[in-house]
Amino acid sequence: MTKYSLAVIVLAAGQGTRMRSALPKVLHPVAGQPMLGHVLAVAAALKPERSVVVLAPGMEAVAQAAARQMPGIRIAIQAEALGTGHAVQAALPALRGFKGDVLVLFGDTPMLTVDTLKALVAARRRKAASNGDGPAVVVSGFRPADAAAYGRLVLDERGDLQAIVEYKDCTPEQRAIGFCNGGLMLLDGARLPGLLKRLDNNNAKGEYYLTDLVHLARAQGWACKAVEISEIDVMGVNNRAELALAEARMQARLRQAALEAGVTMTAPETVYLRADTKFGRDVSIEPHVVFGPAVEIGDDVTIRAFSHIEGARVAAGATLGPYARLRPGAEIGPDAHIGNFVEIKQARVEAGAKVNHLSYIGDARIGAKANIGAGTITCNYDGYNKHHTDIGAGAFIGSNSALVAPVRIGDGALVAAGSTITDDVPADALVLARGRQETKPGRAVGIRARLAAQKKRKPKQNKS
Ligand code: UD1
Ligand code: CA
């Protein structure tokens, strides 16, 4: 079998005005990733030889986001939004010299899955009996509960696709068809340019419809196929309500995948995941945990309720929370404990170390088995620069200590509670850096008597 060659065109030139946003529609995130990013990630799984994204003039931010995610992606500019067929025409120069299949996707369908794309590819490759080249056009079809304004798929008596009729151009009989165009299409690249040349805009919207390629192909005697896919896959996002709906569905999908991968969640519907969240085996997550981007959780980690985790790596056997906050650059070592109201940023907490209560640890290393007392703060910022705090293995930092960075606490050192540490502490030293306690026996009695007498003399003024 010869190598399958595929090019992908993602249409994203639409303005998305119904989002009412300064941000281009396809950059709005779902599960923390721009919608376009989801589409490109799914497309990338098919290893396309070429990828093109079609944008309107001035959409530089989208072009940059696309290039960041998929280096080498080509940008085609559609000068005016004259329809989906016109948008594909705009992408043709970027496909010059390419011979293979062309997959057309929309940038605003974040729920797309690789399996759906593979179903289209399979239909193209299954050579139609009537045509050795396989169908010229393969279309995704779905049966929505409400067919609304989708294009309708008209099948012939053999069940092959005869035409797509846009809603506005439908006869009443055609409107009654429940089988609709999901938008994504797979086209024979060899026959595509010829078909596109024949497009016109004699229709209700005055647009060049990509969907017209079907009847144009049939007029050449070429077969076309509709492949039924799930509605959720081609769900488009046009406004904020649909964005919220897509988020809910994506979360449901991610939670299901995590559960299937061996994560325990007592209340999965309260856990917010990202498309890139990675879990080991036997991870346990209590209710109300929020994951930001770039989180990797190792085996046997327990994440207790109300924790917030982003940009962090957590090694096997560690426990987090309740109410832990891991910020970017947090690296939690095996069997470490991060307790309640503890914030960790750009810091490595090594094996078995404990930061159990009310702490801020930023720009730091905490050595293995060190114990960080309640309320310890690494004072990492002087208003201009960030400085590093290094705490050695087995060190003990007493409660409510302030470690003024840059500072190093040696292995096994003992810092007395309430200390403000500004100088390095050698290994195994005891350091106290706080006012000495003075105790005056009986003195409280005298003070109370004096204050009570004052209050009796001027009761009104003393009222608090
Ligand atoms: C399209 C289909 C319709 C299908 C529906 C599924 C056509 C003519 N109609 O309709 O049959 O049921 O999708 O959701 O294709 N775009 C451009 N340039 C343009 C016009 C559109 O890049 O000039 C992009 C948009 O940004 C969007 C995509 O193409 O990502 C689809 O365009 P849209 O206007 O939403 O098509 P529909 O009217 O929904
Ligand atoms: Ca649409």
Give distance in angstroms: CA of 48 to centre of ligand 2.
Answer: 24
Catalytic site includes residue 308: no
Query: Kind and range of the H or E element at 379?
Result: strand 377-379
Task: Please tell me the distance from the alpha carbon of residue 449 to that of residue 359, in angstroms, as a whole number.
Answer: 40
Give the relative orientation of helices 114-125 and 35-44 as an angle to the nearest 10 degrees: 50
Rounded to the nearest angstrom, the gap between the alpha carbon of residue 226 and the centroid of all alpha carbons in its chain is 31
pLDDT at 56: 97
Identify the pLDDT of residue 458: 81
Please tell me the predicted confidence (pLDDT) of residue 204: 96
* DSSP character at residue 19: G
Q: Is the Cβ atom of 372 under 6 angstroms away from ligand 1? A: no
Closest CA to 320 of 254, 330, 161, 396: 330
Measuring from atom 11 of ligand 1, which residue has the nearest CA?
A: 151
Residue 426: pLDDT over 60: yes
Tell me: the pLDDT tens digits for 48-90? Answer: 999 999 999 999 999 999 999 999 999 999 999 999 999 999 9
What average pLDDT does the segment 216-221 reach? 97
Nearest 5 degrees, angle CA 344-CA 345-CA 347?
Answer: 85
Of ligand 1's listed atoms, the one at least distance from the Cα of 166 is 11
Encode pLDDT of 406-425 as tens digits.
Answer: 999 999 999 999 999 999 99
From CA 145, how far away is CA 455, in angstroms rounded? Answer: 77
Residue nearest atom 5 of ligand 1, based on CA coordinates: 183
What pLDDT score does 304 carry?
98
DSSP state of 436: P
Whether 338 contacts 355, CB under 8 Å: yes
- 313 backbone dihedrals φ, ψ, rounded to 5°: -120, 130
Are 344 and 353 in contact, with CB atoms under 8 Å apart?
Answer: no
C-alpha 204 to ligand 2 mean position (Å)? 16
At 350, is the pLDDT very low, low, confident or very high (cuts 50, 70, 90)?
Answer: very high
Q: Which pLDDT score, from 0 to 100, does residue 133 have?
A: 79
114-160 pLDDT per residue, tens? 999 999 999 998 754 445 678 999 999 999 999 999 999 999 999 99
What are the two backbone dihedrals, phi and then psi, of residue 260, each rounded to the nearest 5 degrees? -65, -25
Q: Is residue 46 within 8 Å of 141, Cβ to Cβ? A: no
In this structure, the number of other CB atoms found within 10 A of the CB of residue 241 comes to 10
- pLDDT over 60 (residue 283): yes
pLDDT of residue 125: 87
The minimum-distance atom of ligand 1 relative to the CA of 205 is: 8
Given 86, 288, 308, 357, the catalytic residue: 357
Question: Which residue from 14, 18, 108 is spatially nearest to 59, judged by alpha carbons?
Answer: 14
Which of 17, 26, 54, 106 for mutating ligand 1's site (highest number of atoms within 8 Å of CB)?
A: 106
Assign 21 a pLDDT band (cuts: 50, 70, 90).
very high
Percent with pLDDT over 70 in the chain? 97
The proportion of the chain whose per-residue pLDDT surpasses 90, expressed as a percent, equals 95
Of 167, 159, 179, which is closest to residue 223 (Cα–Cα)? Answer: 159
Q: Give the whole-angstrom CA distance, residue 267 versus residue 289.
A: 10
Q: Which atom of ligand 1 is nearest to the CA of 80?
A: 23
Ligand 1 contacts CB of residue 141 (under 6 A): no
Cβ(370)–Cβ(353) under 8 Å?
yes
- For residue 182, give the ligand nearest its CA: 1
What pLDDT, in 10s, does the model give residues 356-377?
999 999 999 999 999 999 999 9
Give the pLDDT confidence of 169-187 residue by residue, as tens digits.
999 999 999 999 999 999 9
